[in-house]
């Protein structure tokens, strides 16, 4: 056994993962260069080696669940053979206008054909709500309805959807609740399809950065966009919400969250190949951003729902891969599989969270109605 393989095995022993073992979550290594690559490049090397077929695993999500639960990546960063620099992160604004546009082009503008085969018919690219349902379409409808109820929507309200995606919320809210929605995104691909899907409804879809919003709105929401704002701009985002929300308005923030505060952005593999210029926030970072500015009315954690959602997306992606394979190629398939199933494992292990946070300017008189209803439903 080579010294590098021995170091690797020692790390992964803590996660109950074996090299060339027989269990679904064990790793099968086909290229011995893999060990050096992982121990010198960390999670980036692990992901790139997977893309290049240097190793495989029957159940990638269960392997990543064990990795996340054991926190071996944290231990790896302290090993003398593993050197990583974090200096650049404190200098550059990952969420600047220029970097935000780069991130959008890298991910959301990759092609609507990919997202059509992977997502539900409404094209909802955020965590579903699996309360009492078994299918992705139902889980996404549940999530949209949950958001509408938390926002206390009613006919005639003006709603701002920051980072509106392909318009799934805007369309649902306009059809079901009779509200007027302005959806903003900086993705050209999303704008074109969202306008098509929302045609004939009181919905406007515009190419606009959240920092350029004008007007006042009764409700403001952001579903799966705050991760792109990044630490240097958290306060700016909250100030934007405060400035454009009516005095008695309600805002909802639906965001991925983590249990520790980082400044360096996402995992290096995800940052390079999937979501450049993003940062998953912590409770403390969000708290600092709303301090003395907004009132937190409700904070709900739906992380286990995201593990189910990611597995459903992967099922759809794998089933429909033949339709787009010629446009994307085999290496993209392995990259996308790694991205989806790695995250499913991390949400299952509760290392990543999914939060829905309800905010107001001054606190709602008498308290927040949705919270009261939820509390009463558990009585008796």
Q: How far is CA 11 from CA 4, 60, 73, 233, in A?
A: 11, 17, 9, 36
Is the pLDDT assigned to residue 374 strictly greater than 90? no
The predicted pLDDT at position 104 comes to 45
Per the DSSP assignment, residues forming a β-bridge with 354 are 256
Is the pLDDT assigned to residue 379 strictly greater than 70? no
Q: Model confidence over 347-364: pLDDT tens digits? A: 999 999 999 999 999 999
The predicted pLDDT at position 107 comes to 54
Question: Residue 103 has which token pair?
Answer: 């991130």
Phi-psi label, residue 111: left if phi above 0, alpha if psi -120 to 50, beta otherwise: left
The predicted pLDDT at position 76 comes to 62
The predicted pLDDT at position 74 comes to 72
Phi-psi label, residue 52: left if phi above 0, alpha if psi -120 to 50, beta otherwise: alpha
| Domain 97-377 coded CATH 3.40.50.150 | yes
Per the DSSP assignment, residues forming a β-bridge with 183 are 161, 205
Is the pLDDT assigned to residue 85 strictly greater than 70? no
Percent of the chain with pLDDT over 90: 72
Question: Residue 247 has which token pair?
Answer: 């005095």
Rounded CA-CA distance 130/52 in Å is: 34
Mean pLDDT of the residues in the chain: 89
Rounded CA-CA distance 256/269 in Å is: 17
Question: Residue 139 has which token pair?
Answer: 């889980």
Give the CA-trace dihedral at 256, 262, 268, 274, to 10 degrees: 30
pTM of the model: 0.89
The predicted pLDDT at position 80 comes to 52
6-26: average pLDDT: 91
Q: What backbone torsions phi and psi does residue 257 show, to the nearest 5 degrees? A: -140, 165
86-109: average pLDDT: 46
62-67: average pLDDT: 96
The predicted pLDDT at position 375 comes to 63
Q: Model confidence over 317-346: pLDDT tens digits? A: 999 999 999 999 999 999 999 999 999 999
Per-residue DSSP letters for 219-257?
EEEEES-GGGT-GGGHHHHHHHHHHHEEEEEEEEEEEEE
The predicted pLDDT at position 255 comes to 97
Which residue ranges make up each domain of the chain?
Answer: 3-84, 97-377
Is the pLDDT assigned to residue 87 strictly greater than 60? no
Is the pLDDT assigned to residue 306 strictly greater than 90? yes
Per-residue DSSP letters for 85-150?
--GGGGTS-TTSHHHHHHHHHHTTTS-HHHHHHHS-TT---S----TT--SHHHHHHHHHHHHHHH
């Amino acid at each position: 056994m080579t010294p590098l393989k021995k170091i690797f095995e020692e790390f992964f022993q803590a996660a109950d993962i074996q090299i060339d073992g027989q269990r679904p979550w064990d790793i099968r290594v086909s290229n011995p260069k893999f060990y050096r690559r992982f121990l010198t490049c960390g999670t980036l090397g692990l992901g790139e080696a997977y893309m290049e077929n240097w190793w495989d695993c029957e159940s990638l999500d269960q392997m990543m669940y064990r990795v996340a639960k054991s926190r071996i990546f944290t231990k790896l960063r302290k090993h003398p053979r593993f050197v990583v620099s974090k200096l650049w992160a404190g200098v550059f604004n990952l969420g600047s206008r220029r970097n935000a546009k780069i991130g959008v082009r890298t991910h959301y503008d990759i092609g609507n054909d990919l997202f059509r085969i992977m997502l539900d018919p409404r094209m909802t690219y955020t965590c579903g709500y699996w309360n009492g349902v078994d299918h992705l379409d139902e889980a996404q409808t549940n999530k949209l309805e949950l958001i509408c109820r938390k926002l206390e929507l009613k006919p005639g309200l003006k709603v701002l959807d920051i980072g509106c995606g392909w318009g799934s919320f805007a369309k649902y809210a306009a059809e079901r609740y009779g509200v007027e929605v302005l959806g903003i995104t900086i993705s050209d691909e999303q704008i074109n399809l969202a306008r098509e899907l929302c045609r004939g409804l009181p919905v406007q879809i515009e190419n606009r950065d959240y920092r350029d919003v004008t007007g006042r709105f009764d409700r403001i929401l952001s579903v799966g966009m705050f991760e792109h704002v990044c630490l240097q701009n958290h306060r700016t985002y909250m100030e934007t919400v405060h400035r454009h929300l009516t005095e008695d308005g309600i805002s909802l923030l639906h965001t991925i969250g983590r249990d520790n505060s980082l400044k360096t952005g996402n995992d290096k593999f995800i940052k390079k190949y999937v979501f450049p210029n993003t940062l998953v926030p912590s409770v403390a970072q969000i708290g600092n951003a709303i301090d003395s500015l907004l009132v937190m009315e409700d904070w709900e954690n739906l992380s286990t729902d995201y593990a189910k959602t990611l597995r459903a997306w992967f099922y759809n992606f794998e089933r429909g891969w033949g339709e787009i394979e010629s446009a994307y190629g085999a290496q993209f398939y392995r990259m996308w599989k790694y991205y989806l199933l790695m995250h499913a494992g991390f949400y299952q292990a509760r290392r990543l969270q999914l939060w829905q946070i309800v905010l107001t300017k001054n606190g709602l008189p008498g308290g927040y109605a949705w919270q009261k209803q939820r509390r009463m439903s558990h009585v008796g």
